[in-house]
């Protein structure tokens, strides 16, 4: 869980939400000119945007109702200093004082960003960030802010995403001021930004009326290890802080912008790579940049995979087909926040805030008048969940600011991208709280307790089975069930198993890739907090090309004493397919222990064993101590205790790898029940027309047969259910399923909706009727 004083909030920038009025005294911002030049889609501008200038009292009340207690926002430099320096616009100061006071009245703590790209046009005309004088201009701006607002706010961020200011504004020309300068000039821009940051820190501390907390919010795409190998992890770290991008996009980099701020020096790799483009970096410049900070912000949205090749080189694998992406066509991969936060916290010894993270989605008002942004909720649940994981692993993560509260002007995209948790009709200015606003409210109120990482997901958990190759196996499990398993000796599919000899993986959802044994150990709530030090059941599909050995299983008491504390083994079989005339060995004919020993010692197997005729649909319970064997030509589903303790009586003198398989005659004599129950008491035929029937309820399990022909709803009042599709295909609660699929229905799931033509064998721990 996150620390008790974790800071939850939302973030935005002044220019994106405030709007303008003719008499507000503001100067022209370089983005005003960029918009007026028609460089934004649909000729969009911010004369109104979401009209925060006039609607902030209602919006802050809405923030309060939505549980927001911390608001990161930026000031518009040109609203405070219309020409960038000199004359202070008192109307602008009064506007921000009233706005911040309204925040405080609503219990919202302000976090002010000095610069979120709102450069006064007057300064842009004087060279903007290419002019070294901007260091003093920005320092003067910081002084005015400190003198006028520090009594109301004690948390400040100097710059937002200097990488974007450098690359998008001056290299690619995609953002204001829309320039494409030469490479050397972009390094001047970056250096001036960092010096301005340092001067702002000095002036904020010097002119504030009380101690203040100051940070800095860079950004970058995150290098994600393609696998969890140490080699790929180190490769990703190397790329994240290195210089592997194109020269044109060199500024999309972490260390060039953060190392000087934290360590007082530019990274050596960058100095060497770009030596032909670099201006002179004076010692006093570096001292100015390297001002003590209270925290580091990081804006993280997405990332890309990195792999270390066998020759030691770095490779950038293609994203997998159909990868998830947002409305900006950015990939959505929560691993980016995990590794971005982890790498950053490991490199920079300073408290870390995620100062931006969010997603643009295709939001629309539904017929019920609401905005159901499930994609945003899923995104945030994944991303914030991995952030908690980083914090749990020891990173000093202090806060998280969601981008953003209101839909607004999205820079060069105009009004085409919606990042907000509050929907805004840009024509009427109506606000509608999206589903994500209510969800994030609960996240903040519970300190993240409602995240999937802290609570079990209610979805079906599909299992990737493991396989056993045997002397008696064949190819039926591949040919008839479609399992992609090589070989012609496939005997068993361990469909749902946490046994050490076949510990299956989760195939889907939040727990994808986790072993079932780990899920049982760490997420008992999925299983209704069922007791036990190991997963209690095991579901197999067994297909015998040849006869299995004649065998018997011990009970718990015997196994616990003689098999190192193992469980015994009770099992049952549901016959899925059987060739005409097929039989099973079930029970024996000995009347006494002495007769049993004589038959075993003298190899009188025909006298000993008892065959029973079987056909598809038969169900057989095999209690511990029951002599049994599956014969060739039979395919069945076995439900059993999670144990693999088997005592072999007779193996037809077969050889495996040139040697006979070991027998366990002494143990068998100990555990075989004498006399054996009549076979008729152990074999039941499923000839019921009911959709759901219970085949057995015993000490260790219940087993059900479910038949769906069309549309079926089922609900089981049990901690969890194991289900295997053994015939046909269909859809179960939106998931297409087919013969051979195995899944777990978690605790509290409720009704299961089924469509199609299929048969399912389900099992669970025994419960009260």
Q: Tokens representing 639? A: 């439900």
**Alpha-carbon distances of 310 from 229, 231, 242, 255, rounded to whole Å:** 13, 10, 20, 26
| Integer Cα distance of 359 and 25 in angstroms | 34
Look at the block and give the residue holding tokens 């510990």.
Answer: 503
Residue 736's H or E segment, with its range, is strand 735-738
Contacts with 489 (C-beta within 8 Å, 6 or more apart), sequence order: 469, 470, 471, 473, 474
| Integer Cα distance of 43 and 102 in angstroms | 33
| Integer Cα distance of 147 and 372 in angstroms | 44
| Integer Cα distance of 493 and 474 in angstroms | 12
The Cα angle at residue 193 between residues 188 and 197, in degrees rounded to 5: 145
Look at the block and give the residue holding tokens 């805004």.
Answer: 424
The Cα angle at residue 726 between residues 720 and 730, in degrees rounded to 5: 85
Is 356 known to be catalytic?
A: yes
| Integer Cα distance of 631 and 547 in angstroms | 4
**CA count, 13 A, side-chain hemisphere, 9:** 26
- Helix axis angle, 335-347 to 230-240, nearest 10°: 70
The DSSP annotation for 634-684 comes to EEEEEEEES----EEEE-TT-EETTEEPP--HHHHHHH--SSPPPGGGTEE
The Cα angle at residue 644 between residues 661 and 673, in degrees rounded to 5: 85
Helix, strand, coil % in the chain, rounded to nearest 5: 30, 25, 40
Q: Are the C-beta atoms of residues 553 and 647 closer than 8 Å to each other? A: yes
Residue 598 backbone dihedrals phi, psi, to 5 degrees: -65, -45
Nearest to 148 by CA among 109, 92, 104, 186: 92
| Integer Cα distance of 535 and 503 in angstroms | 10
769, exposed or middle or buried, with CB in 10 Å at 0-12, 13-18, 19+? Answer: exposed
Q: Are the C-beta atoms of residues 105 and 98 closer than 8 Å to each other? A: no
- Helix, coil or strand: residue 382: helix
Contacts with 18 (C-beta within 8 Å, 6 or more apart), sequence order: 46, 49, 52, 53, 76, 79
The Cα angle at residue 213 between residues 209 and 214, in degrees rounded to 5: 110
**CA count, 13 A, side-chain hemisphere, 92:** 24
Alpha carbon distance, N-terminus to C-terminus of the chain: 38
Q: Which of 118, 140, 356, 410 is catalytic?
A: 356
Q: Which of 161, 410, 492, 638 is catalytic?
A: 161
Q: Which residues pair with 628 in a beta bridge?
A: 551, 586
| Integer Cα distance of 157 and 756 in angstroms | 58
DSSP-derived pairing of the beta strands 7-11 and 397-403: parallel
Residue 224 backbone dihedrals phi, psi, to 5 degrees: -110, 130
- Helix, coil or strand: residue 548: coil
Measured from the Cβ of residue 683, the count of other Cβ atoms closer than 10 Å reads 18
- Helix axis angle, 183-207 to 255-263, nearest 10°: 40
Q: Give catalytic residue positions.
A: 161, 356
């Amino acid at each position: 869980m996150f620390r008790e004083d974790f800071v939850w909030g939302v973030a935005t920038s002044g220019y994106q939400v405030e709007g303008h009025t003719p008499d507000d005294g503001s100067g022209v911002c370089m983005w005003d000119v960029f918009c007026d030049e028609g460089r934004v889609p649909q000729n969009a501008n911010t004369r109104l945007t979401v009209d925060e200038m006039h609607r902030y009292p209602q919006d802050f009340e809405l923030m309060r109702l939505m549980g927001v207690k911390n608001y990161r926002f930026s000031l518009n430099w040109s609203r405070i200093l219309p020409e960038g320096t000199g004359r202070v616009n008192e109307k602008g100061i009064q506007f921000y004082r009233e706005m911040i006071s309204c925040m405080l009245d609503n219990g919202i703590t302000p976090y002010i960003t000095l610069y979120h790209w709102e450069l006064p046009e007057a300064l842009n005309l004087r060279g903007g960030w290419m002019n070294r004088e901007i260091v003093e201009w920005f320092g003067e701006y910081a002084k005015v802010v400190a003198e006028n607002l520090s009594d109301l706010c004690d948390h400040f961020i100097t710059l937002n995403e200097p990488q974007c200011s450098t690359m998008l504004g001056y290299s690619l020309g995609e953002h204001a001021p829309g320039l494409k300068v030469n490479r050397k000039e972009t390094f001047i821009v970056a250096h001036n930004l960092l010096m301005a940051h340092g001067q702002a820190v000095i002036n904020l501390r010097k002119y504030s009326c009380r101690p203040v907390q100051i940070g800095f919010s860079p950004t970058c795409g995150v290098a994600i290890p393609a696998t969890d190998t140490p080699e790929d992890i180190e490769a990703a770290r190397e790329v994240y802080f290195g210089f592997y991008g194109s020269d044109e996009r060199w500024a999309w980099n972490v260390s060039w912008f953060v190392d000087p701020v934290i360590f007082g020096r530019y990274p050596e790799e960058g100095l060497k790579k770009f030596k032909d483009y670099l201006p002179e970096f004076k010692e006093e410049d570096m001292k100015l940049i390297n001002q003590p900070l209270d925290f580091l912000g990081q804006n993280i949205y997405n990332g890309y995979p990195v792999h270390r090749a066998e020759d030691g080189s770095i490779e950038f694998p293609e994203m997998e087909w159909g990868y998830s992406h947002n409305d900006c066509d950015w990939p959505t991969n929560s691993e980016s926040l995990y590794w971005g936060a982890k790498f950053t916290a490991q490199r920079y010894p300073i408290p870390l805030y995620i100062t931006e993270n969010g997603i643009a989605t295709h939001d629309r008002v539904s017929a019920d008048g609401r905005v159901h942004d499930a994609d945003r909720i899923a995104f945030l649940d994944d991303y914030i969940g991995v952030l908690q994981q980083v914090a749990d692993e020891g990173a000093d993560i202090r806060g998280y600011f969601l981008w953003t509260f209101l839909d607004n002007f999205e820079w060069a995209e105009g009004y085409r991208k919606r990042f907000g948790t509050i929907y805004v009709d840009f024509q009427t200015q109506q606000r509608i709280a999206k589903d994500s606003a209510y969800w994030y409210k609960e996240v903040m109120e519970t300190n993240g307790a409602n995240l999937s990482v802290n609570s079990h997901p209610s979805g079906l958990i599909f299992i990737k089975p493991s396989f056993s190759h045997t002397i008696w196996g064949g190819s039926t499990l591949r040919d008839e069930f479609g399992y992609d398993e090589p070989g012609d000796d496939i005997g068993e599919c361990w469909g749902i198993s946490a046994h050490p000899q076949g510990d299956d993986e989760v195939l889907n959802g939040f727990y994808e890739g986790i072993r079932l044994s780990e899920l049982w150990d760490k997420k008992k709530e999925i299983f209704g907090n069922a007791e036990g030090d190991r997963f209690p059941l095991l579901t197999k599909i067994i297909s015998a090309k040849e006869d299995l050995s004649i065998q018997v299983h011990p009970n718990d008491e015997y196994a616990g004493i003689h098999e190192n504390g193992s469980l015994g083994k009770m099992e049952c079989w549901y016959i899925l397919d059987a060739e005409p005339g097929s039989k099973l060995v079930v029970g024996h004919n000995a009347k006494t222990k002495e007769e049993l020993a004589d038959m075993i010692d003298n190899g009188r197997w025909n006298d000993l064993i008892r065959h029973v005729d079987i056909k598809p649909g038969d169900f057989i319970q095999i209690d511990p101590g029951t002599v049994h064997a599956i014969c060739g030509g039979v395919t069945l589903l076995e439900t059993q205790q999670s144990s693999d303790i088997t005592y072999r009586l007779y193996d037809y003198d077969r050889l495996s790898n040139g040697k006979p398989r070991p027998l366990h005659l002494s143990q068998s004599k100990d555990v075989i029940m004498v006399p054996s129950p009549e076979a008729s008491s152990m074999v039941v035929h499923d000839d019921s027309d009911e959709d759901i029937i219970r085949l057995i309820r015993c000490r260790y399990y219940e087993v059900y047969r479910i038949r769906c022909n069309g549309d079926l709803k089922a609900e089981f009042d049990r901690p969890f259910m194991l289900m295997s599709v053994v015939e046909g295909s269909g859809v179960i609660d939106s998931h297409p399923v087919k013969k051979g699929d195995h899944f777990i229905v978690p605790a509290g799931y409720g009704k299961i909706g089924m469509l199609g033509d299929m048969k399912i064998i389900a099992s669970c721990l025994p419960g009260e009727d």
